Structure 1
């Protein structure tokens, strides 16, 4: 799934506090800076500091200010990052709660609503991975679809890249539901979105290897539901992804295991 370590656009909506922001006193800006530093270093103290600054931002900005919802959405993302780090259930519960608040309190015309919806959807997908609660993945799918409905299809390269990321996220959530239910229609839709995301991702893009593997995973899901004709392409996607991930990358062992499993399936199907 896509992870966002970029700067919050809502910082640009600060009309009264430019001087404070330039001095790094604006709380949402401080939270963003600390989160970016955490993304570079992995230092948990920076993550805790980012959470504290976002909590202050929720108190500082009124509900009518776009930055109030942005701060809530930041807390959703930050607690999800904390969950990914320490696997504390309380963090995942908080992430979902803050994500719901961000979507519910987003003012009319909020340009960041799609980002808030995506952040909540990602937290719900994490919850599904832990509990296999069908309502969580259904809500995540609906939110990702809603993101795409809100996002324009044209515009700048940055907007186009953000849209591709949401297409990939939708494919991943559909894969989870289809793999569990063994529903080939859901998996077929997941393949369509995964293909589209890979097609629109340049070969030299940092996410290209991830999207190769995403497509491979969906195709493998079809193989496992009795569609062995997809095994060759699934194997190709994993092999290409493995070549693109650098030596020592933590995902490589899992991909190598998947390729070994695919060879076993080939033997099982006599292909």
Structure 2
């Protein structure tokens, strides 16, 4: 898991107690360190500590400091993580609110504005997944498009963050296209998913999931009657499962989907 919003001045502190410290540690870095520790352990105390440190950061940094917007964006991400854990509606509401504030307060020239937009978009996807509110997924798609518009294309490659936004946009388009059974939206999702996979090295930790993401988009096309994509769907899921660790929580669902795809291929003779 990559560091996202900054770094602390110390790497040798107690992660639970760090959020309570004030003068010697930069609060946004503390929040990020606690988030990373939570991602490794799943300890809810670490997540709560990360939220507390980010709340302190909002108070500490003036509004015209890029770290103020970064702290708001951190709270968007952290409350979304809390929502994923507890499924408390208040967390999702806070995530979206903090995300909007982060984008709004991001000063001109903020080099990480695209991260704030992406964090808000991901929270809005969660809203859509739980409510099927079409405005939420439309806003998420617009934000992901906006990320790609403002992120530079580097010579010799797109850059890891831009590739990630390609994948995010593909997933958002898949959600809308699958609900509406809209071939044009699904075709666009497939283009972005292919681009993300193309620019993800085979040894990258996200490669397996990018294979599965493209498989999911192509499966959406299959479900609209485009059966010519069935072989590619099976190939994407098979390769993705081959690369995923045996303990990955997504494996059971992916294995079930792959079995369904194989059955459909036998049924349709493709």
> TM-score higher than 0.5 here?
yes
Partner of 2:95: 95
Residue 78 of structure 1 is matched in structure 2 by: 78
Cα offset, 1:152, TM superposition:
0.2
CA 31–123 in structure 1, closer or farther in 2 if over 3 Å, else same: same
Contact 1:10 1:70 in 2 (8 A): no
- Counterpart of 2:141 in structure 1 is 141
Quote the offset at 1:9 in angstroms: 4.3
Task: Trace 1:218-229 onto structure 2 (pairs within 5 A).
Answer: 218-229=217-228
Instruction: Give 5+ residue unaligned stretches, structure 1.
Output: 13-20
Distance (Å, rounded) in 1 between the aligned partners of 2:249 and 2:84:
15
Dislocated runs of 4+, deviation >3 Å: 9-12
User: Contact 1:103/1:116 (CA < 8 Å) preserved in 2?
Assistant: yes
Q: Aligned to 2:159, what secondary structure does the other structure show?
A: helix
Equivalence for 1:17: none
Distance in 2 between the 1:192 and 1:122 partners? 20
- For normalisation by structure 1, the TM-score amounts to 0.91
Distance 2:50 2:88 in 1: 18
Q: Distance in 2 between matches of 1:246 and 1:60?
A: 41
| Cα separation, 2, equivalents of 1:230 and 1:113 | 37
Give the whole-Å Cα distance in 1 for the aligned partners of 2:99 and 2:154: 27
Total equivalences in the alignment: 259
Query: Structure 1's 45 and 5: CA in aligned 2 closer, same or farther, altered over 3 A?
Result: farther
Is residue 63–residue 105 contact of structure 1 (8 Å, CA) maintained in 2? yes
Cα RMSD over matched residues? 2.0
Matched with 2:159 is: 160
1:164 & 1:210 partners in 2: Cα distance? 13
> For 1:246, what is the secondary structure of its paired residue?
coil
Greater RCO (CA < 8 Å, at least 6 residues apart): 1
Post-superposition Cα deviations, 1:8-41, rounded to whole Å, max 9, x if no partner, equal 14989xxxxxxxx9x7522112111111111121
Aligned counterpart, 1:209: 208
Change (3 A) 1:35 1:267: same
- Is this contact kept in 2: 1:7–1:36, CA < 8 A? no
Spell out the pairing of 1:1-271 with structure 2 (5 A cutoff). Answer: 5-9=2-6, 24-154=24-154, 160-271=159-270
Distance 2:64 2:84 in 1: 31
Q: Quick one: distance in 1 between partners of 2:156 and 2:72?
A: 27
